[in-house]
Structure 1
Amino acid sequence: MLQLKDITKTYTTGEFTQVALNNVNLSFRKNEFVAILGPSGSGKTTCLNVIGGLDHYDSGDLIINGKSTKFFKNPEWDAYRNNSIGFIFQSYNLITHLSIIDNVEMGMTLSGVSAKLKHQKALEALERVGLKEHIHKKPNQLSGGQMQRVAIARALANNPDIILADEPTGALDTATSEQIMELIEEIAQDKLVIMVTHNAELAERYADRIVKFKDGHVVDDSNPYGSVINEFGYKLKKTSMSFSTALKLSGKNISKKMWRTILTAFASSIGIIGIALILSLSSGFQKQIDKFQRDALSEFPIIISQSAMNMDEESINKMRNNSLANQKEYTNEKKVFLYDPAETSIAHTNIFTEDYLDYIKAIDPSICNNIGYTRLVGMNLLRKINGEIKPVSMAIGINVASGGEMDMQTMSASMTNMTSMNGIGLTSYPETLGKSSESYLEKNYDLLAGSYPSDETGLVLVVDNQNRVDYNVLKNLGFTVDNVDSIDFEEIVGTELKLITNDDYYTETELGSFIPGNNYDTMYESKDSITLKITGIIRLKSSVSLGVLGNGIAYSDKLVQRITNNANKSEIVMAQREADYNVMTMEQLDEASKSAFLTYLGGNPTPFMIFLYPSSFEAKDAVLNYLNAYNIGKAEKDTIIYTDLASTITKMTSGIMNAITLVLIAFAAISLIVSLIMIGIITYISVLERTKEIGVLRALGARKKDISRVFNAETFIIGSCSGFLGITIAYLLTIPANIIIENMTDLPNVAQLNPLHALALVVISVILTLIGGTIPAKMAAKKDPVEALRTE
C-alpha cells in the first residue's frame, strides 16, 4: 500500500487525474474505476490518508486544475477535501450520535448547502444506496453492509470529483462485499473511483485499471495514459460550520450521556445556587430595609437651623457648589498627610434672611409636601377653671411638659434637644403646600375625638399608641391630675384658652422693668385676646413609623406668626430692643441672650428652625438639589447648611448590607472556580471520547476552528444548563427560606431573586464554562486528522 511520502504530485485536469508517485506519473480518467494494489499485509498507510493528511506533510505540490497547492493554507486544504474528495472508509467512520441522514448531510452542511437542498440530496443519496427507509436510525442500529452504504451515500452526497475508497469491503462478508463492489462499480460510471485494496481478485474483477506497487514503487500499470494538459481557473468553495450546527452535533452527543451531563451541570451550578441565594436574600433584605426607611425616614425632615454647627471646609464647599455634591478628590501621593481638624473645622451659623425664607416658601410642592417652623415664641395663656381665671402654659418649640413655665433655661434646653434630635417632639405641626386635599395631621394622625383644626386657633392633643400623655401636659393646662389615672376625651375636647397680648399681659413698673400682671379677669375679657380651643385628640397612624409631633399640645405655625405680628410693636418688645439688659429681671445680657429673650417675647419673627418634608423618599434628592442651588456663588457666611439625617442612616445601612453581600459572594465564588476546572476536565474527556469524530469531520472538510467550535458549543450547552439549573434550584430554595425567615422575623417574602441577577448569573455560568473548555477545545482543533481516524 502507499505511504504518504510516496505521493509527490497529483494533477486534476479536465477529465483526467494524474498522480505522481516517486516521479512515476499515473493518469486516470474521471469515470475510471482504478484499483491501486500493494503487497498484501504490508500494513502501510493507504491512499485515503494521502488526501486526509496532505496538510500535515510536506510531500510536494498537488496541482488541481492547473492551480498549485504549494502555498495552500489549512482552510484551503479543508475546502479541497470537502469540494473534491468523497471518502469511503474501511471502518465506516460514522458519527454514532447522529442519525444516518445527519451523517450524510454533514459534508454538505460544511459546504454551506441550504437545509432544504441538503436534505433532498441526502435522501437521494440514501435512496441510491437502498437505505431511504432507515433515515432516522442511528449507525449502531444498522448492519456492517448498511453502515458502509451510509458511508458511500455520504461520499456521494456532496458531488465530489473523486471517490477514495480504502478497503471498502475489508470489514464485510463475501456476499455483502459483492453488493458494495457492485454499488461502487455503478458509481464509477460518472465518478473517478480510486480504491486501495490488498485483494487482487477483487481488483481484477471490478477495476478498469490496476496500478500495482511494491516497496513504494510502481511495478505495473494495466492501462497507462500519456501526458495531460493543465487547465486553470479552478476555484475552491470555502467550508464553514455554523454555531447552530456545532450546537446540534454537541447536543446529540450530550444526549447520549444524559446523566453525566446532568450531574456535571448540577455540580457546576452549586456556585451559581450559592450566589443566587445570597443575592436573593441580600436584595430581599435590602428591599425590607428600603421599605422601612421609606416608611420611617420619609417622615424625617430636612432640618435647617440657626444654631452654630462645626463642619469641615470640604462639606461646606459641597453645599455651596451643587456640582461637587457627589464628587471626592483623591490624591496619588505616597504619603500620609497630617492635619489638625480644629484648623479645618468651621463654626458656621446659618443666617435666615427674608430672601432665603421667601426662597424656601417657593419650593415646588410636588417635591416637598409640607414645611414646618420652630419659633421659640412664648405664649401668654389664661384659662377659666370652675369660674376662676388662671394662667396656664404649654410647651413651645418642643414639648417640655415637666418644665412648667418656659423660662430661659428651659428654652435653652429645648434648643439643645432640637439641635441634637435626641427626640422629635415638635409642638408646631407642618403646613401643607400646594393643593393637597389632606393636611399633614390628616395624613399622618388618626382622629380619636373631636375634629382636626380648621384654622390657626385650633389646638390638638397628641397621645401615644396607648393614649398616654405626660401628666404635666394637662397639669400645666389646669386639669386636675392628682390621684387620677385617666381623663375622658370629652373633658379635654372643647377646652378653651385665651391668648393674651404682651401689652395686656405685662405691666411696666416705676423702675422701668416689666412684670406679668395679675388682673386676669381684665386680660381674659380684653378685645385683643384670642380664643384658642382644643378641637381634637389625635394619635400617630399605625402605618406611620415615625411622628414628628411630641405628645402634648400641638398648634399651627400660623398661630405663632399671629403672635409675633401682635407682639412686634408691644411696649415690652420695644423696650427690650433698646436695652442691653433683661427688662424683666434687669440682668445684663450679651447679644445672644438678648436675641433669644427678644424672640421669646415675640419680637423676632425669624424661625429658629425650618423643617422640609419631601413628598416621597425619592423626592428627597430633588429637595436637596434645590437647597444646594441657593448656595451656588454665595459667600461662606451667607451659605445655608442643612442636616439630612435620613441620608446618613441610609448610607450606613446600605453600606453594611453591601459589605456583607460581597463577603458572602466571595466565599461562594470559590465553588465557581472549582466548576471552571471541572468543566475543563469534562471537556478534555469529551475530546478523548470524540477523537474519531474529529478525524471524520476534518476528512469531510471541517476547519480547525470548526472543531474548536464543536467543543465550545458543548461547553456552552453545559454552561447554559448549569446556569438555568442553578437559578431554578435557587428559586425553589427561596420558598422554604422565606417560610423560615418569616417564622423567625415576621418579615414576609424576604428572599427574592432579581430577574436581572438571574440572567447575569446564567451569563456568568456560560462564560466560565467557555473559559474552562477553551484549552481542551484548542487541543481538539490541533489533533492530526489521520491519527484521529486511527483512534478506536
Structure 2
Amino acid sequence: MLSLKEITKNYVVGDTTVKALKGVSIDFRENEFVSILGQSGCGKTTLLNIIGGLDRYTDGDLNINGKSTKDFKDADWDSYRNHSIGFVFQSYNLIPHQTVLANVELALTLSGVPKAERRKRAIDALTQVGLGDQLSKKPNQMSGGQMQRVAIARALVNDPDILLADEPTGALDTETSVQIMEILKNISKDKLIIMVTHNPELAEKYSSRIIRLLDGKVTDDSDPYNANAVNEEKSAAEKKKERKKLKTSMNFLTALSLSRNNLMTKKARTLLTSFAGSIGIIGIALILSISNGVQVYIDQVQSDTLSTYPLTIEQTTASVGEIMSMMAEDREASRDHDMDKVYSQNQMARMINTLMQETKVNNLEKFKTFLDENKEIKTLTSDIKYGYATTLNVFKADTSEGAYQVNPSQVLMDMGYLSETQMMGMSMGGAKGSPMRGMDVWNEMIDNDDLIKSQYDIIAGRMPEKYSETVLIVDKYNEINDYILYSLGILDSSEINGIVRKAITGEEVKLNNEQHSYTYDELLDLKFKVVPTTDFYRKKDGVWEDMKDDYDYMVDVVDKGLEVSVVGILRPNDDAAATSINGGIAYKHELMEYLVNEVKDSEIVKEQQENPDIDVFSGLKFKGENDEENEQPKDTETEEPQKEEEPTAEETVTQSAPAAGMPELSDEQLAALMAGEKPEGMSDEEFTAMMAQMSAEAPAAEMPELSDEQLAALMAGQLPEGMTEEEAAAYMAQGGNKEQMQELTDMGMNAMGGLDMGSLMSGSGDFMGGLTDAQKEFLASLSDEQLAMMQGMITETTQQNLDQLANSGKFSNTTYDANMVVLGYATLENPSSINIYPKDFASKERIIELIDEYNDNAEEADEIEYTDIVGVMMSSVTSIINAISYVLIAFVAISLVVSSIMIGIITYISVLERTKEIGILRSIGASKRDISRVFNAETVIVGAVAGILGVGLSYLLTIPINAIIAHLTTVPMRAAIPYAAAGILVLISILLTLVAGLFPSRIAAKKDPVIALRTE
C-alpha cells in the first residue's frame, strides 16, 4: 500500500547542498509496526516527514496504494495527510488554547464531518486511549503521558491508514513509555505504524519490523517486503482502503472558534491589541460624530431656513432674484475708471427695466398639475403649500357682546391706524410685499409633522388632527405678543381704541403694562368660529347686500359658523435655527380647502357665475369695452360725443333728489340745503344722502384757500371766522379748495405712512414728526367721523363714490372678476400662490433644475417665474459645506491608513506567535487556504473587538466633547454618532483588519510545516 522508490532529499543551505536521503527504497505492509532506528542526523525524521506528506522528496517516487505522487498538488497532499495519515509527535504538538476534545475533533472538522458525529468519534478515540473522562481539560492541565495519549487519539480519530510516530516516548518516563507503546502495538493490528525512535529496546520489544538508517541510506531491514512480488488478491479490507480522493475544508466558523480560543488565552494582550487597533476607529468615530453634529445642525438650519423662506411662486410676480443677481454682478464687475473721484453706479434704469420685463402672470393651475404628478419633487420637499385668494374670516365663538372678528385682525383699525376700507383691501390680499400682509395672527402650518416637531416642543395638548383644530404658538420664553392677544380677543381691544389718533395729535398714550398670565387649560379652551365671506351677504329685492354692519345678522352668521378649537400649545425648541410659523394661531391646510369649497358652493357665487354680465350687488350690467362710447349721445354733425354743460349747484340738488328716490324740494328746502342746514320735513338719512350727492355731482367750482384755523373750525362743525354760512356750505359741498385738500390728504398720508409698526407695537415712536402746531391742533379737533372722512380721502374713496354716482342707473362700477375677488372665490386646482419647501439646499437646487426643465418644455405663456431670495443670499453655503466635508474626509482617510498599517503589524506578530500551530494544522491536513482562513478569522475578531471598543469609547468621549461645545459656543450643535454609522464603523474596522491581515495570513499559509513544527 505504501512504497518508496529511490527517494532522495537534498537541502540547500547557503552555497552547500546537504543530502539527507540517498536513494531510499522501502515497501510497507498494510498493517505492521515498523521502527526506524539510526543516529541523529541520519535522515529518520526526514523520511517520516516525506512519508507523511509534510516534506517533498527531491527525486524518486512515493506510491500510495499503487498510485504515484509525482503529480500530486497541494490539495492532494492535504487530503492525504487528513484522511490517510495520523501524526504522533515527541512534543505532542497539541493546540494549547483548545480543549482535549477540541484538539481531537480538529482533524474531523477539516474532513467536513458533521458536528454530532465528530463529537461522538472524538469521544470514542479518547476513551480508547483511556481519557474518556478528561474531555474538557486544556493540554496544560495534563501530564506528558496524558498529552501523548491525546495526540494518539487525534491521530486515530480520522481512521487513517498509516500512523506516524516521531519519538512518541522521547519525553516520557519509562512507565508511561511502556503504556504508550502498548497502545501503539494494539493499533498496529489494523494499521501501519511507522515509528522513529532512538530506543532500540522499545523497538525490539514492540515492533514487528526494524529498519536501520545510516547517512541517509537503509543499512538493515529485519523483515523486508516486496510489494511487486506479492500477487495475492486484495482482501476486502484492502479494497475498503482504496478510497477516492477527498478534499479537506475548514469552514470559517471553525476558523473563528480556533482564533477565538487562542485570543481568549491571552485576554489582556488581546484587549490591548484591540485597543491599539481601535485608536484609528476612535479617531474616525470622533470625526464622524463631530461631522454628523455639524451636518445635522447645518441640515436643521437649512430645513428651518427653507421652511421660513421657501421658493415662492405668485400669480403675478417680479423676479426679485434677478434684480439681486444683477446687483451682485455689478458689485463683482471690474472697473476701468480712475480712483481719484467718486462715480455713480447706474442701476435704477436696469432695475426698472428688469422689473418691467420680469413681471409676469404665472399659470399656476398648470404648474400645480406638474407638481402633483412629479414624484421626484415630493421626495425633495418638506411640503408644498398652496395659497388661495379666499379670506380666512375668524370670529370669537362667544357672541354675547356681538361678532368680534379676530382674523383678518381688527387691531389696526381699533387703534385708528387703518380705516375699514383699507382693512378690506388688506383682507383681499393687499399689495405684494406690503408689511400689513404679515399682521394677521392666523397662519397656515406646513403639512410636515416631523419638521414641525423638530422646530417646536408640544408644551400642552397635542398636534391638530382635523381641519377644525389649531395650535397656539408661544415664544421660547412662553410669552405671547400682546398684539396677538388683542387680535384674538383675549385682551380687551377697547383699551387701544384710537391710540394712533391720540399719538398723532400729541396726547399721552397710556396702556396697561400689566403682564397677564394664562394657564394652559385656559388657552386650550379657546374657541373660534370660521365664516365664509359669502355668508356676509343677504339677498334682498333681487340684489345681494352687505350685512357686516347688521349686529343681529352677524351674530347669527357667526353662531352658525364652523367651530375651531385650540388643541395644543407649541414652543420653539432651543435647537431650531428658524421656525416655519410666525406666531399666533396655526391651522391645517384642510381648513383653507374647506373654506374654498364653501365659497365655491355658495348661492351668491353660483348666481354670479350663472350671470357673468350682471353685478349681483347692484343688479346693473357690467360695463363692456364699447359701453363707455355707446352711453354718450353723439353730435349729429360731427359724430363726436356731445359735451354736456355742467349744471349749477341748484340744478345739481334738484336733479339729485329724484335720482336718490327722494321727493321734489321746495324753494325753502332748497335754500336751507344750500346753506348747509337740514330742511324742514327732511329726515336725517335723506339729508345725509342729499349732501353726499351734492358733494359728488356739484360742478367743481374754484374754492378759496383757507387758513389752518379756518379749516380746523370748519372740520369741527363751526363757522370759520370771515366766512358766511353759504360760503361754508358751498365749500363743504364742493370738497374744499383742491390744492389745499390735496395738501391735507398728503399730510394725512405722510402722517400715516410715517407710522412705524414696530414702534407702535412697543409703544414708542415719534408720531408727530413733520406736523406744524396748527396741523396738530387741527387733527386734535377732528371727531372720529371727521378723521374717517380724512382717511377716506387718503384711500381715494371720494373718487370711488364719484365713479359710482357717474355710473348710477347705467352700468356697475365694478367688474365680474372684482366681485369674485370680493367674495373670495377660488378653486383648489388654481392657487394664487405656491410655496415650495425644499429639504435642504441640494434639494432646492434640484427643484430649480426641475422647474427650469418644466420651463424649457412649456410654452412661453406657461413658463414659471419664481422668487428664491435665500438662494441668492446663501449661494456660497453649499461650497463651504463641501469644503468642510472634504477636509473631514481627508482626516478620515489618514486615520484609516494609519489604522490599517497598525493592524497589519499586529496580525503579523500573531502569525509569528502561532507558527507552531500552523505546523500542527498542516500536519493533520489543513490546507494553505485553511491556514489563511484561521488568521483571517483572527483579524475579523480583532477588528470586531476594536470596532466595538472604538465606537463605545467614542460614545463616551462625545459626552465631554458636547459639554465643551456647549460651554464655548451658543450653537446648538451636538456631536453624535448615528447608530447606523456606528454599525458601519464596526464593519469598516472588520474589513480593514481583514484587508490588513491578508498579507500576514498569506505569509502564514506559505510557511513550511516541517519548519513550523520545530518552532518553539
Q: TM-score, normalised by structure 2?
A: 0.54
Helix, strand or coil: the match of 1:94?
coil
Range with greater deviation from structure 2 (237-246 or 266-275)? 266-275
1:726-746 alpha-carbon deviations (Å, 9 max, x no partner) = 122222333444455556667
Aligned to 1:237: 246
Q: For 1:709-766, what per-residue CA distance to the aligned partner results, in whole angstroms no more than 9, with x for missing partners?
A: 1111110000000111112222233344445555666788934431211111111101
Provide the C-alpha distance between the structure 2 equivalents of 1:234 and 1:467, rounded to a whole number of angstroms. 105
**Distance change (3 Å), C-alpha of 1:627 and 1:442:** farther
Contact 1:430 1:440 in 2 (8 A): no
Q: Paired residue for 1:765, among 983, 989, 996?
A: 989
2:857 is paired with a residue whose SS is coil
> 2:113 is paired with a residue of what secondary structure?
coil
- The Cα of 1:107 is off from its aligned counterpart by 1.1
What letter matches 1:633 in structure 2? N
List aligned pairs for 1:715-754, cutoff 5 A: 715-741=939-965, 750-754=974-978
Q: CA deviation at 1:271?
A: 2.6
Query: Match of 1:484?
Result: 509
Alignment deviations for residues 358-387 of structure 1 (CA, whole Å, 9 cap, x no partner) = 876999799655515699xxxxx9x9999x
1:219-267 deviation line (CA, Å, top 9, x unaligned): 2222223333698964221111111111111111111221111112112
Match of 2:85 in 1: 85
User: Does the 8 Å contact 2:503/2:509 carry over to 1?
Assistant: no
Which letter does structure 1 place at the counterpart of 2:220? Answer: D
Q: Is the 8 A contact 2:79 2:246 kept in 1?
A: yes
Check 1:710–1:99 CA distance in 2 against 1; reply closer, same or farther (3 A cut): same
Do structure 1's residue 180 and structure 2's residue 214 form an aligned pair?
A: no
1:41/1:284 CA distance change after superposition, 3 Å: closer
Report the CA distance between 1:352 and its aligned residue: 2.2
1:46 to partner: Cα distance: 3.9
Structure 2 SS opposite 1:164: strand
**Matched residues in 1 for 2:361 and 2:971: separation?**
45
> Residue 267 of structure 2 corresponds to which residue in structure 1?
258
* Cα distance in 1, alignment partners of residues 904 and 275 from structure 2: 15
Q: 2: distance between equivalents of 1:656 and 1:374? A: 42
1:674 is the counterpart of 2:916: no
Residue of structure 2 in register with 1:371 after alignment: 387
Does the Cα contact within 8 Å between 2:900 and 2:996 map onto a contact in 1? yes
Hey, what's the Cα distance between the residues in 2 that align with 1:385 and 1:142? 101
1:210 Cα deviation after fit: 1.5
- Say which SS state the counterpart of residue 219 (structure 2) adopts: strand
**Match of residue 127 from structure 2:** 127
Residue by residue, what CA displacement relative to the aligned partner does 1:317-337 show, whole Å, maximum 9, x if unpaired?
xxxxxxxxxxxxxxxxxxxxx
CA distance in structure 1 between the partners assigned to 2:291 and 2:364 by the alignment: 43
CA pair 747-244 structure 1, distance change in 2 beyond 3 A: same
Counterpart in the other structure of 2:279: 270
Per the alignment, do residues 448 and 659 of structure 1 end up closer, same or farther by CA in structure 2, a change over 3 Å counting? closer
Deviation track 1:550-609 (CA, whole Å, cap 9, x = no partner) reads: 9xxxxx999xx99x99899999x9999x9xxxxx99xxxxxxxxxxx99x98888599x9
1:770 deviation in Å? 0.8
For the aligned residue pairs, the C-alpha RMSD in angstroms reads 5.9
Q: Which residue of 2 aligns with 1:612?
A: 834
Q: How does 1:602-641 map to 2 (within 5 A)?
A: 610-613=832-835, 631=855, 633-641=857-865
Contact 1:7 1:50 in 2 (8 A): no
Alignment of 1:641-660 (within 5 A): 641-645=865-869, 656-657=880-881, 659-660=883-884
Determine the structure 2 residue equivalent to 1:702.
Answer: 926
Cα gap change, 1:219/1:431 in structure 2, threshold over 3 Å: closer, same or farther? closer
Counterpart Cα distance in 2 of 1:161 and 1:360: 84
Aligned-partner Cα distance in 2 for 1:753–1:743: 20
Count of residue pairs the alignment pairs up: 660
TM superposition shift of 1:140: 1.6
Worse-matched range after superposition: 244-253 or 57-66:
57-66
Identical aligned residues as a percent: 45
1:370/1:617 CA distance change after superposition, 3 Å: farther
Residue of structure 2 equivalent to 1:691 = 915
Query: Do the aligned partners of 2:255 and 2:937 also contact (CA within 8 Å) in 1?
Result: yes
- Matched residue of 2:958: which SS? helix
The structural deviation recorded for 1:47 is: 2.9
Q: 1:542 to 1:46 in 2, by over 3 A?
A: closer
Instruction: Check conservation: 1:695, 1:787, Cα contact below 8 A.
Output: yes
Deviations 1:463-493 (A, max 9, x none): 9x9999xx9996279987732143799xxxx
Classify 1:385/1:700 alpha carbon distance in 2 versus 1 (closer, same or farther; 3 Å): closer
Match of 2:612 in 1: none
For residue 319 of structure 2, what is the aligned residue in structure 1? Answer: 309
**Deviation for aligned residue 1:60:** 3.0
Q: Determine the C-alpha separation between the residues in 2 that align with 1:629 and 1:473.
A: 54
In the alignment, does 2:211 pair up with 1:201? no
User: Any unmatched runs of 5+ in structure 2?
Assistant: 10-20, 326-349, 392-409, 448-463, 515-544, 559-565, 573-577, 585-594, 600-604, 609-614, 632-737, 740-795, 801-813, 822-830
Unmatched 5+ stretches in structure 1:
10-20, 316-341, 376-380, 400-410, 453-459, 490-526, 551-555, 579-583, 586-596
Tell which deviates more after alignment, 762-771 or 738-747: 738-747
Is 1:283 aligned with 2:505?
Answer: no
Cα distance in 2 for partners of 1:472, 1:364 equals 47
CA-to-aligned-CA distance 1:159-201 (integer Å, 9 cap, x gap): 1001111121122222222221122111111111111223222
1:170 matched to which residue of 2?
170
Q: Is the 8 A contact 1:372 1:428 kept in 2?
A: no
Distance in 2 between residues matched to 1:482 and 1:476, nearest whole Å? 9
Q: Residue 194 and residue 611 in structure 1: after superposition, are their counterparts in 2 closer, same or farther (change >3 A)?
A: same
Distance 2:892 2:922 in 1: 41
> 1:243-297 CA deviation, whole Å, 9 max, x = no partner?
1111111111111221111112112222322332333344345445545655564
- CA deviation string 1:59-93 (max 9, x = no partner): 33322223222211101101001111111112211
8 Å Cα contact 1:301/1:612 also seen in 2: no
1:545 to 567, 579, 582: 579
Cα pair 1:243 1:713 within 8 Å, conserved: yes
Equivalent residue number for residue 511 of structure 1: none
Kept in 2, the 8 Å contact 1:373–1:428? The answer is: no
CA distance in 1, matches of 2:488, 2:878: 34
Pairing 1:110–2:118 present: no
The match for 1:216 is 216
Partner of 2:33: 33
1:301 and 1:611 in contact (8 A); partners too: no
TM-score by length of 1: 0.68
Matches within 5 A, 1:404-553: 425=438, 438=467, 461=487, 475=500, 482-486=507-511, 531=549, 542-543=571-572, 545=579
Comparing 93-102 and 219-228, the one that deviates more: 219-228
Q: How many angstroms apart in 1 are the aligned matches of 2:360 and 2:264? A: 78
What is the SS of the residue equivalent to 1:193?
A: strand
2:86 maps to amino acid: G
Measured in 1, the distance between the counterparts of 2:109 and 2:222 equals 39
Q: Which stretch of structure 1 is more off in the superposition, 641-650 or 700-709?
A: 641-650
SS in 2 for 1:132: coil
Question: 89-98 or 218-227: which moved more?
Answer: 218-227
